[in-house]
Amino acid sequence: MRTGLSDHELRRFLDESYLATLATLRNDGSVLLSPVWYEWQDDGFNVVIEADDIKSRQLQRDPRATVIVAEQRPPYRSVEVRGIATLARNAAVPALLRRIAIRYLGETEGNRYADGMAEFHGEWLRLTPGRLRSWDYADTELPEPA
């Protein structure tokens, strides 16, 4: 396993539209894992979540969070970011939601999706690395997937 992807490799990987997994902490200390769309910008993750949903309430109580993005095919690149999440409800949320929707769905469908979310009350979750780990298996001989 090769660790520590270069900045260029990291940015190129995170520019892909993989689903990320957001980990937040429940009241009892167990972890809630949630698939999320994201954008990587200014060395951190931007995610839109519903205002006052369980993830938002958990992060308001305990802002520690982890986001992991993992490739499903060789070389199985992966990035994990742990840090303190910040939440914001502001005028930038609709534009962020639109950008992320276009990133995942393309221009036409992304705009259609964002237009349909006009009544959505979202929050901007920002997670910058307190700790960033990255790895792949580019230097490991792996069997071909079935």
Model confidence pLDDT, tens digit, residues 83-133: 999 999 989 999 999 999 999 999 999 999 999 998 889 999 999 989 999
**CA atoms within a 13 Å half-sphere pointing along the CA-CB vector of 57:** 6
Total count of domains within the chain: 1
Question: Which amino acid belongs to residue 127?
Answer: L
Range of the domain at 87: 2-136
Decide if 146 is inside a domain. no
Decide if 68 is inside a domain. yes
Please answer whether residues 140 and 120 qualify as being in contact, where contact means their C-beta atoms are separated by less than 8 angstroms. Answer: no
Q: How does strand 131-136 pair with strand 122-127?
A: unpaired
Helix (H, G, I), strand (E, B) or coil at 128: coil
H or E element in which residue 81 lies = strand 78-88
Decide if 82 is inside a domain. yes
Q: How far apart are CA 130 and CA 65, in angstroms?
A: 10
CATH code of the domain in which 93 resides = 2.30.110.10
Decide if 143 is inside a domain. no
Decide if 55 is inside a domain. yes
Q: Is the pTM of this model over 0.85?
A: yes
